[in-house]
Structure 1
Amino acid sequence: MYPRANALGVVVKGNYILLEEQKGKHSKGDGFFYRPIGGTIEFGEKSDQTLVREFQEEIDVEITVKSYISCIENIYKIDQHTGHEITQLYMVDLQSKDLYQKEKFTVTDGDKITCAKWIPLEDVYSGKKVLYPSGLSDILAQEI
C-alpha cells in the first residue's frame, strides 16, 4: 500500500473556517470530526487543479486558489487500519462573494453526503472541534 496524495483548500471568513463535518470512527475516537474541502490528487493532475475540481464536484462552487500553505504528512490508525496521507494545503477564496453568507453547503462525494459549515477558528485552535489532518490546527494558527 502507498501513501495517498491529496489537496485541501482552506476558506476563511473573518474568524471562521469552512469545514466538512463528518461523523464516525477516527484516529482520536468516535464522533464528529472536521476537515477542509478537497480530495485525492488524480494521476497527471496538479494539486491546485485538484482543489478546483473537488470544490466543483463536492459543493458545486468555483474557487480561486490564492496561495500555497504547506504540506502535511499524516500517518494515522483507525482500529487495525493504518492510513498514510500526504496533503498539500492551499488558501482559497470562493469566487462568488454571496456564498460567504451561506450557512451550510451540501457535500457530495460519490454516494456519501455530508455538509460543510463555518466553524469558529477558536474551536479549532482549542481542540473543541477535532480537525484533520493532524497538525493542521497548528499550521492554521501560524498562517491565519
Structure 2
Amino acid sequence: MHKEGEIRVLCLGAIKDGDRVFMGEGYDPVKEEHFYRALGGGVEFGETSYAALKREFQEEIQAELTNIKYLGCLESLFTFNGKQGHEILQIYQCDFADPKFYQMDNIVFAEGKRKKTALWVEIERFKSGELKLVPDQFLDYL
C-alpha cells in the first residue's frame, strides 16, 4: 500500500486479443462502483518500469510477457475508497507468452490479502460507457 500524499509510479500492461482486452476488476466501496484497470503494479526503487511489468505479471498470475512495447505515460488523479490518489502510469502494450491465457475466461489471484479477478472484456463495453475503465484516458491506448 502507499502512504497518503505520495505519488505512486506504476506500470500497466495493455494485452489485447482482437476486440477484447485483459483487465483486472476492482470495486470502490465508498462509491459502490465496479471498475476495470489493466494489470500491472508499483515500480520499486532501482527497478525499471519494464522490469516491474514483467515481475508484476509473474507474481500476480504467473504469466510471462512477450512483445513488450512502451506506449506512453499517463498521470492519474483520482479518489478511491474516499481517499485522494495520484499515480504516474507507464503504459506498455504486450502479449502473453503462453497461449493458454487467451483461452481462459478469468483468473482469480491474490493481491496482498484480497482476492482479485482478471478477465477478458470487450473494448466496446468501455467505449459505450457500460463499464468503467480507470483511468478513462487509458482507452486512448486501446
Q: What TM-score comes out, normalization by structure 1 length?
A: 0.88
Q: 1:120 to 1:113 in 2, by over 3 A?
A: same
| Counterpart residue identity of residue 21, structure 1 | E
Residue 23 (structure 2) pairs with residue 19 (structure 1) = yes
Q: What is the one-letter code of the residue matched to 2:121?
A: I
Shift of 1:24: 2.3
Structure 2: where are the runs of 5+ without partners?
Answer: none
Over 4 Å off, 4+ runs: none
Q: How does 1:1-144 map to 2 (within 5 A)?
A: 1-25=5-29, 29-78=31-80, 81-140=83-142
Aligned length: 138
User: CA 1:92/1:60 → structure 2, altered by over 3 Å: closer, same or farther?
Assistant: same
Deviation at 1:80, TM superposition (A): 5.0
Q: Identity over aligned residues, as a percent?
A: 34
Residues 74 and 134 of structure 1 are in contact (CA less than 8 Å); yes or no, is this contact kept in structure 2?
no
* TM-align CA RMSD: 1.6
Partner amino acid for 2:33?
Answer: G
Q: How far does the alpha carbon of each residue in 1:12-53 deviate from its partner, in whole angstroms, 9 at most, with x for none?
A: 111000001112247xx3221100110010001100111111
TM-score, length basis structure 2: 0.89
Q: Which amino acid aligns with 1:84?
A: H
